[in-house]
Amino acid sequence: CWYKSLVKNTIQRRNKMENLSNNIVRTADVIGKKIIGINQDALGKVEELVLDKQNGMVRYAVLARGGFMGIGSEFYAIPWAALEYCTDSNGFKVNISKDDIEKAPGFNKESWPDFADESWDKSNSNFYNHLIVPKSPMPKEQKDFISEVGNSQPLNRDIQS
């Protein structure tokens, strides 16, 4: 029966994600996961991941909220460092509420921001920096990266191959 097969595959994929290292995950296992705010508020789901092509780090998880089957959804770029995977809910937690996300800078499917634009990045980061308190200590490399991104100076990194 197709339904039993679908349920079996879904369970197998969930188990695979939970068995992966906390530091490594496939994008296919992140996109579509729910994002839950404080008080267990369902905020939406991960629509897309935005990567920094200079260092390969994920900069943002794009939250899709509202709409029907992707039509009319609002999108929000939540800093990746603000998300924490929660095995209990098989999704991500973030320390913001429904009210907070409704005040966040958003965009629609037809007009995504230029994520490389420093003024957009600073405005978006400033919004979330005031609302998000990391739940667990961040590795030094991640703290250094976040402080560089928050700096108005362009990043000056040499890529070594």
pLDDT in tens, 31-71: 999 999 988 889 999 999 999 888 888 999 999 988 666 56
Assigned token pair, 20: 């992966």
Q: Is the pLDDT of residue 98 over 80?
A: yes
Which residue would you say has higher pLDDT here, 28 or 139? Answer: 28
Per-residue pLDDT, 155: 41
Assigned token pair, 136: 């667990």
Give the C-alpha separation, 36 to 86, whole Å.
9
Nearest to 85 by CA among 67, 54, 58, 124: 58
Q: Is the pLDDT of residue 19 over 90?
A: no
Per-residue pLDDT, 21: 55
* Those residues with Cβ within 8 angstroms of residue 87's Cβ, 6 or more apart along the chain or in another chain: 18
Assigned token pair, 33: 């996961």
Give the C-alpha separation, 101 to 58, whole Å.
20
Q: How confident is the model at residue 112 (pLDDT cuts 50, 70, 90)?
A: very high
Residue pair 77/60 in contact by the 8 Å Cβ criterion: yes
